[in-house]
Amino acid sequence: MEIFNSISKIIFQGYMGFRRQGSFNIASIFILSLVIFLFTFLFVFYGMAQSLSLNLQERIDISVYFDSDSSEKQVLEAKSELSKFAEVKSVEYVSAEEALNKFTEKYQNNSIIMSSLEEIGGNPLLASLNIQAFEAGQYASISNFLISGSFEDIIYKINYSEKKPVIERFFSLISGVNKAGIIFGIVLILVAISIAFNQIRLAIRNSRKEIKIMRLVGATNFMIRGPFFVQGVLIGIFAVLLTLLIFVPVSYFLSPRLEMALSGFEIFGHFADNFFFIFSSQIAIGVGISTFSSLIAVHKYLKI
């Protein structure tokens, strides 16, 4: 009862203190919500980069063409060997006949191509395996396996070498952008945290006389810290609310407009899907930074 009594008093004092701090709190809330906003943006950016890279990777594959004198059995053997590879996501066998069917289907209206195909006679196309890896970076080792393995003799050509520059450029671009974005984001967040930390310290410095008087009239350190802790919690919560107030409508508005450019990635959908994680991280960041910096700042004035 006693402790409940004093805790409710501390919460009330914290609330009153929060209301009467005025502009200092507004500044703290704004700066803190900048931190939270950056975090949220970084989270969405990371999701976006992931989705883009997955999406593009799905469009990449390499094709292995086999000599026309190789048997179907040999090719299927190669296929099953490849399937055992941990890096291989899928292997699709396209026989020479299938390739021809697809080809004629595609070009049936093109009389020049169709007539030259007839001129050649027979099936000029080769059987092939279309291989997809999980990540762009894995194609090199798959290709190496094929060249150095026992299938070398029956392989006519691997078009990896043709696509290689594209694959590698794309791979390094994605991971570069991703890394740069995340490092830049983290640096920004650190800068913003230190600004928020300083702002809250300034606000508490503004209360140093009050802290001195509290001590002089017999408050325990717990009773002094308590209201500032409560104030910190309130500032953190308001900062999260402010961030959401801006982020939700903006992302809701932009999401359908950017979906095409981001090859199907929905900003708002991603945000909504991960809302629980985002919201709890935002609360943890907002409340964490503001209470931590409040307590550090108050501590300085508890020594007299």
Partner 1 sequence: MIKFENITKIYELRSGQNPVVALQDVSFEVKEKEFVSIVGKSGVGKTTLFKLLLVQERPTQGKIFFMNQDVHQIRAKDLFNLRRRIGVVFQNYELFNKKTSYENIAYPMETIGANKDQIKRDVNEILQLVGLTDRAFNFPEELSEGEKQRVAIARALIHRPDVIVADEPTGNLDPANTYGIIKLLYKINEFGTTVILSTHDKGVVNNLEKRVITFEDGKIIRDEERGKFIL
Closest CB to partner 1 among 112 and 216? 216
Site size with partner 1, rule: CB under 8 A: 24
Angstrom distances, CA of residue 156 to CA of 73, 125, 146, 159, 165? 16, 12, 11, 10, 20
**Contacts with partner 1, 14-53, as mask; x by CB under 8 A:** --xx--x---------------------------------
Minimum gap (Å) between residue 199 Cβ and partner 1: 19
Three-state DSSP class for residue 141? helix
Tell which residue, 239, 246, 245, 212, has the closest CA to residue 293.
239
Rule CB under 8 A: choose which of 5, 109, 115, 148 binds partner 1: 5
Minimum gap (Å) between residue 21 Cβ and partner 1: 8
**Contacts with partner 1, 203-242, as mask; x by CB under 8 A:** ------xx-xxxxxxxxxx-x-------------------
Q: What is the DSSP string of 3-65?
A: HHHHHHHHHHHHHHHHHHHTHHHHHHHHHHHHHHHHHHHHHHHHHHHHHHHHHHHHH--EEEE
Minimum gap (Å) between residue 282 Cβ and partner 1: 29
Minimum gap (Å) between residue 229 Cβ and partner 1: 16
Closest CB to partner 1 among 89 and 208? 208
Cβ neighbours of residue 256 under 8 Å, at least 6 residues apart?
A: 266
Closest CB to partner 1 among 210 and 259? 210
Three-state DSSP class for residue 93? strand
For the chain, helix, strand, coil in percent to 5 are 75, 5, 15
Closest CB to partner 1 among 21 and 291? 21
Three-state DSSP class for residue 133? strand
Residues that bind partner 1 (CB under 8 A): 2, 5-6, 9, 13, 16-17, 20, 209-210, 212-221, 223, 302-304
